[in-house]
A and B are shown apart, each in its own frame.
Chain A
Amino acid sequence: MANRTDPLAKSIRGTNPQNLVEKILRSKIYQNTYWKEQCFGLTAETLVDKAMELDHLGGTFGGNRKPSPFICLVMKMLQIQPEKDIVVEFIKNEDYKYVRVLGAFYLRLTGTDIDIYRYLEPLYNDYRKLRRKSADGQYALTHVDEYIDELLTTDYSCDIALPRIKKRIITVGEVQLGREIGIEDETVTDTVGGSYIGS
């Protein structure tokens, strides 16, 4: 019950958003103590607190594949489905790199191809360091731009299968976004691809 998707949430790619996380990982998250203790009853507003406390990203680790707080918060966002402008706020914030990456990951999971390129590509300019917990429980060093590249060019990250997106060049060609998708984020307007998720 505490794990129900917000009744107002729109379905994403024809399914309950939470189903974007495959079933085994989902049940691992539901059983996780951090999930039960810290993620219970969060709204998009109070989730900010938890996101700011993040100090590493990662999927699962250890023999019993314990989910990381990062992935728990991704799950929580799928559950409460914050508005798009809130997700963009996460991504655009300059002070908390893990909040930024969390927003980026969520948008990669739920956004349209156009939005994904529009809001994630500017982050190629962010070279800050990130700590990443790998499956063996060890921390590895990565960087924001490096991780964004992983999100944009691969289809699997942090033990979650990412939906297929078109290659950037195709997206650009189709929508003739050209410069708009480019690195200058400030010029972005909402004229293209108004639809966000589902619908």
Chain B
Amino acid sequence: MDQSSNHVVGVDNTSRKKFDREEILQRARERDEEEADGRKSKSKGPPVQRKPLKPRDYQVDLESRLGKTQVVTPIAPLSQQAGYYCPVCECVVKDSANYLDHINGKKHQRALGMSMRVERSSLEQVQQRFESLKKRKDPGSFTVQDFDERMLKQQQEEEERKRLRREKKKEKKKEKVSEEEPEIDPDVAAMMGFGGFKTSKK
């Protein structure tokens, strides 16, 4: 015991700091002032009014680039890189699941100016919704505009189908050509009496 107290007198590098009440109080005051300032400067800007969350009014396009071949280089612009490109946040997401997570996420919705909260609907809103949807499904209120829209949609779908079919055919043809090349010479075939199916019927 005695020894240790003697030791402290020698080199005072292990001693505790003394509690200086004045100094601490001073520091506390400074901190308070700083915080008050900080809060003021934060609240100076008008609070951001974000719109309530809305469901998307369009179908998320996850498949338009499915099955396509594409050259991917690291220097290409983001929108042409592999994966799903979000033009709002200017970022690329690697797969559809993550893309959905991204566009549902806080960061993306913030960029669109939305909060993550949805509005609470009233009974009247719900009742009106029922009414308007019922009318829409009612064939009696079928308008010319609806008809035109449907025709257009059908045409587009049909074209898309045709295009796909054409592509498939092309691929098949390519395969066939490479398979059929070592065939018998048509002249020889004609001499032997089986000139092929095309010419036999006329």
Contact = CB atoms under 8 A, between A and B. Distances in A.
B106 interface: yes
Contact of B123 (A36, A41, A89): A89
Contacts of A7: 117
Contacts of B127: 89
Interface string A23-55: 000000001010011001111111011001000
Interface string A88-122: 01000101000000000000000000000000000
Nearest to B100: A36
Interface stretch (A79-87, A150-158, A190-198): A79-87
9 contacts: A33-B96, A33-B100, A36-B104, A37-B100, A40-B104, A46-B55, A89-B123, A89-B126, A95-B134
Contacts of A6: 117-118, 120
A8 interface: yes
Contacts of B118: 6, 41-43, 80
Contacts of B173: none
Contacts of A82: 121, 126
Interface in B96-143: 96-97, 100-101, 104-106, 116-123, 125-127, 129-130, 133-134, 137
B82 interface: no
Interface of A: 1-2, 4, 6-8, 31, 33, 36-37, 40-46, 48-49, 52, 80, 82-83, 85-86, 89, 93, 95
B93 interface: no
A160 B118 CA distance: 26
A36 B56 CA distance: 11
B115 to A, nearest CB: 11
Interface residues of B, number: 29
B130 A41 contact: no
B60 interface: yes
A41 B105 CA distance: 11
Contacts of A86: 121, 123, 126
Contacts of B100: 33, 36-37
Contacts of B129: 45-46, 48-49
B92 interface: no
A43 B122 CA distance: 10
Contacts of B117: 6-7
Contacts of A43: 55, 118-121
B132 to A, nearest CB: 10
Contacts of A41: 53-56, 104, 118
A33 to B, nearest CB: 7
A89 B129 CA distance: 11
Interface string B53-91: 111100110000000000000000000000000000000
A93 B130 contact: yes
B116 A44 contact: no
A89 B56 CA distance: 25
